[in-house]
Amino acid sequence: MVVDKSDYRQILESFQQQCKKALELPLGKRCQRQCANIVVCGMGGSAMAGDLLRLYLMDKPIRVAVARDYALPAYADEKTLVIAASYSGNTEEALEAFAEAKKRGAEVWAVCSGGMLAEAAKHCILIPKGHQPRASIGYLFFSMLGLLHNSGIVSIANTDLNEMLRILGDTTFFDEEGERLAKSIGKRMPIFYASSRFYPIVYRCKTQVNENAKRLAIAGEIPEMNHNELVAFESIERSRHIVVMLHDEQDYPAIRRRFSLCRAIVEERVDVELMNTRGTGLLARMFSALHLGDWLSYHLAIRDRTDPTPVAMIEQLKKRLRGEKQ
């Protein structure tokens, strides 16, 4: 019996091409005025693109916030660039934040595949329809990044893009390593850790395990977990949990030291697996780790004989919010 009925595997295999196509979507589009800060409004997979944007711009002077809510930050005003990201274009939280941003005089852009958001937006980047939001992370992220590049807010080097695309083209590696990690995890709950900078990547791993494998997972960051969560490992069970640590060679030396010491302590109680970023540029390191996490979650689903694509519980909640009968 076919498990992957919607061919989620094909989405993973074509992710490099998705990123290439996404780079073309914002061509000719640029912000109308200078901004002092950026707020990305969205939920789920759409908000994740905002998390990645914040990660990418962490060393830049411009502030980036992600609003996973109906409300905007209090500081959002006419000097703010607000990007409302909703794959469907009908996410109620993003629509409400979009309307509030217009009232405050912010420059507002929409990134969506259609829906009410596309109808209401004066400035919009349309992305292809037909996917789950989480499977369109390339379209969502590079639409935003391209808009900022065109507007002179950030400069993207072709060498960095080419390195990322080259690494993402190694489908065999990601498939095989993702399968190996899924086999190691087995039926246990994965606990993902990364540095604070790369926390959005392991949070993505967690949510992909949630949606693709329909399983619980945990995501945390170092050094914060060293000050609280580490104590919980006194009572953890090796048979029920496994730690997956995302290692980046360019993390701060103090963070790498903490990783090493923390791993030694944790391994006394649970098994530990490593995920490694690949490449030297930030885009390559971000998306190589993200893509590996996507493959990991896919193989967990297939091993459990679970179709990765449907999200029945989310659809059920949406129907109840609309007042539809079950």
* Cβ atoms 282, 56 nearer than 8 A: yes
* Cβ atoms 182, 303 nearer than 8 A: yes
* Cβ atoms 75, 35 nearer than 8 A: no
Q: How far is C-alpha 16 from the chain's CA centre?
A: 16
Q: Active-site residue among 100, 211, 247, 299?
A: 211
Measured in degrees and rounded to the nearest 5, phi and psi for residue 322 equal: -80, -5
Residue 119 among the catalytic residues: no
**pLDDT digits over 130-159, tens only?**
889 999 999 999 999 999 999 999 999 999
Residue 211 among the catalytic residues: yes
The tokens of 142 are what?
A: 């590079």
Residue 227 among the catalytic residues: yes
* Bond into 128 cis (ω within 30): no
Instruction: For residue 265, give the DSSP letter.
Output: H
Q: What structural domains does the chain harbor?
A: 8-156 (3.40.50.10490), 170-303 (3.40.50.10490)
Nearest alpha-carbon partner for 38 in 84, 1, 69:
84
- Averaged pLDDT, groups of 10, the chain, 326 residues long: 93 97 95 95 96 95 95 96 96 95 97 96 95 95 97 94 98 98 98 98 98 98 97 96 97 96 97 98 98 98 96 91 73
At residue 326, the pLDDT reads 53
**What's the predicted TM-score (pTM) here?**
0.96
Measured in degrees and rounded to the nearest 5, phi and psi for residue 65 equal: -125, 155
Q: Active-site residue among 103, 227, 234, 325?
A: 227
At residue 325, the pLDDT reads 58
Strand order in the sheet with 63-67: 63-67, 37-41, 80-86, 107-112, 124-126
Q: Active-site residue among 20, 21, 214, 318?
A: 318
